[in-house]
Structure 1
Amino acid sequence: FFSASWSSSSSSSLTKGEGGEITNAATSADGVVGLPIDFDVSSKIEGNESQIVTIELEPNQVLRAESGAMMYMTEGVTMETTTGGGMSAGFKRMMTGQNAFISDYRYDGEPGTKGLVALGTDFPSKIIRLDVKDYGGKIVCQKGALLCASHTINIEMEFAKKMTAGFFGGEGFVLQSLTGDGDVFVKAGGTLIRRDLGDGEILRISSGCLVGFSNGVEYDIQMMPGIKNAMFGGEGLFVTTLTGPGTVWLQGQPPSRMISEIASRVPGGGLGLALPIPGMGGGGGGDSEGGEGESEGTST
């Protein structure tokens, strides 16, 4: 991979006073200043098949989240929507599958009080929290996988080295690279699976099932072996190949797969109702007229 970044490095080393409180502020690459969040005690992932994350904010702590993800926020929490570094940064975020705008949540309450922010996903998903420094300082994700993060995390564009990986990989030519000092919350459709690969160990997966991988994992696309497998196996002509060492995260129900399945079952490819519902219309015009005719015939 080679990356094209639109953010510089940021610093968020923790400094605590005599009472154990965090006294220093961290500045993001686009100039947002806030106190770091201790997600070990301040975050809670709730739900089973469709999860949400609730994050507790102390005064002047800042959480950066995908635009449109908020479920609720309590009194004292303010939201500021920005492009995270200008229109150029917003455009590059769109290239990675995210919204052009991001939302920064800051708690402006009195010392000793706390605010809450709850975030949800746009698709039934599992949510996982990852500390970027635990994975070599970098995590690469599929487009749109990021839900929220420390405000000091840098979101960069990651390009596949080989053009085949971009055009035939199912996840596009551009991926997300998450670097910096802090935590990220990543979403995955269906069951979330983690695989730790040894040095040189190879894992071949259906491209849509990829959520992300840690620094050091090599990403490539290979032709599906066997003509019958490629033509009739249902997995397409190409599979994603991941080579260790490193960690890989997979999803059991890619959103694109479910959307395709739902679309294939909509009559005529439309979005109308397949069956008539009393008082709400729906169904075919011929069936409706036929039904009325039978009713009139019975009454006479």
Structure 2
Amino acid sequence: MSEELPVIGAALASRMLEIHRDWILERQRDLEIQDFFSAEVLDSDWSPIAEKIKGLLDGYTGRLGIHGPFWGFKIDSQDPLIRAVVTKRLMQGLDACEAIGATQMVVHSPYTTWDYQNLDNNPGSRDQLIERVHQTLDPVVARAEDQGVELVIENIEDMDPNDRVELVYSFDSQAVRVSIDTGHAHLAHSTHGAPPVDYYVDAAAEMLAHIHVQDVDGYADRHWLPGEGTINWRAVFRAVGRLKVKPRLIIEVKDQVNLRRGAAHLEALGLVV
């Protein structure tokens, strides 16, 4: 029976990969490397980091991804100069994917709480937002397709889970899919009345390719271990179980040293292995 349960993976900085390497490799767990979203890293010689990661992953045959750049920008900027910088940063992320053999990159959603309340206040705003995202991402998507990388768009402030799904469908590309962050969804639900986390899973359906698993208390973006906050994990994983696809399941928490305690909590609930 346990073999039918999803296998939980982790988002790790390369320095933490050494600690959890055996746990990752024992089930070839989904893995997301979190070194390459920093501008300081991307603008430096990061080849030693890539070589270290490849060495630590000798024997790894699981699904490998990275968290793409996100600090300091949005992918729907109205300023064409800013859009050019964003495109460059995401191309640098794809450089890192190529260097370590990653096949997925997380990109942050453009939708904000303000958007939810105002996009329909100005006719055409929804289509204009999607067009600006395309102006930023189209060259990135074209390269991702050639490179065999999925770009997964993660909810940040998203209030309506369908907005991001519509955005993903607009690309009509196998290289663009939906990501869900459970903590971000629960925070939007708790503070602004967005749907609960399982609704985000159901809305994404077959477009869902990636889940950040983290717990919150409904007040802040805690990135706590599962079990430390107030998310209804049984409801979340029931929704995951209804899917026809198998999204990458990634525990993404601040306490990476004790990350496996969060995995153990979900395992004790009979939800993952």
TM-score, with structure 2 as normaliser: 0.24
Q: Which structure dedicates a bigger proportion of its chain to strand?
A: 1
Q: Which structure dedicates a bigger proportion of its chain to helix?
A: 2
TM-score, with structure 1 as normaliser: 0.23
Q: Which has the higher contact order (CA 8 A, sep 6+)?
A: 2
